[in-house]
A = this chain, B = another copy of it.
Amino acid sequence: MQAIQPITAHNLRDLRAVCGNCSMRELCLPVGLDQQEIATLDSLISSRRRLQRGEALYRTGDVFTSLYAVRRGFLKTYVLHEDGREQVTGFQMTGEILGMDAISTDRHACDALALEDTEVCEVPFDALERLSGTIPTLQRHFHKTLSREIVRDQGLMLLLGSMRAEERLAAFLLNLSQRLSDRGYSRSEFHLRMTREDIGSYLGMKLETVSRTLSRFQDEGLLAVQGKAIQLLDLERLRTLTSCR
């Protein structure tokens, strides 16, 4: 078993190969830092935390102190409606950032749960803010990270507001595929870490509809599905599904 290295701004360069064009790199590896700045960054993000599958990273109402960058693993974030309904707001994989919604109120606005064994780096927000005041490049990258989250949410609003079940699911699978391939994994074969219910909640449909739509996609030769194992067989046709109507 391999020893886990502490995360530093230095060895984050290695992560880069794994995460590709991800928020982690954007946040932690702004270009043009000098040695001292990198050292300061190192001290900022040296703290880690491990989660077992099913364990919460934080819960709604918890006091906000830190952002988290996923080092490995997979999480979901969700908000609870008063009557118990659950809306999944996102799935996070290696290199992505959690907790940005908490800045506004100093308390977390959603729950974050590990869907498999997961390791995150903790980024104390006070320190990040102080540091970004002195390193303009870091500040810029942090702002872009926040803004990217806004754009992501708006994309999801478009999906929820104006697509039908088939289009939503196709868009979802293609998005997963893209993010996995960015990280060096296969773009066409992967394991879903979440349940049909999680997918349904994220996409605004019932788990039965998710299941039926997957079966239909399979019948039409778009993909092969067995439980959580997915193989995308016709990326091109999936793509046309998301844009035509």
Interface residues of A (CB under 8 A from B): 79, 81-83, 85-87, 89, 100-105, 109-110, 129-130, 132-134, 136, 139-140, 143-151, 153-158, 160-162, 201-204, 243-245
Contacts and interface: CB of A to CB of B under 8 A. Distances in A.
Chain copies in complex? 2
A103 B221 CA distance: 40
Nearest to A128: B143
Given A161-B160, A203-B161, A104 B243 contact: no
Given A136-B129, A153-B157, A160-B161, A144 B104 contact: yes
Contacts of A132: 133, 139
Given A79-B154, A146-B147, A150-B153, A161 B102 contact: no
A130 B133 CA distance: 9
Nearest to A130: B136
Contacts of A136: 129-130, 133
Contacts of A89: 154, 157-158
Contact of A100 (B81, B86, B147, B158): B147
B103 A162 contact: no
A65 to B, nearest CB: 14
A69 to B, nearest CB: 17
Given A86-B162, A104-B147, 12 more contacts: A87-B162, A89-B154, A101-B147, A104-B148, A110-B154, A129-B139, A132-B133, A150-B150, A150-B153, A153-B153, A157-B157, A161-B202
Given A139-B129, A201-B161, A203-B161, A144 B103 contact: yes
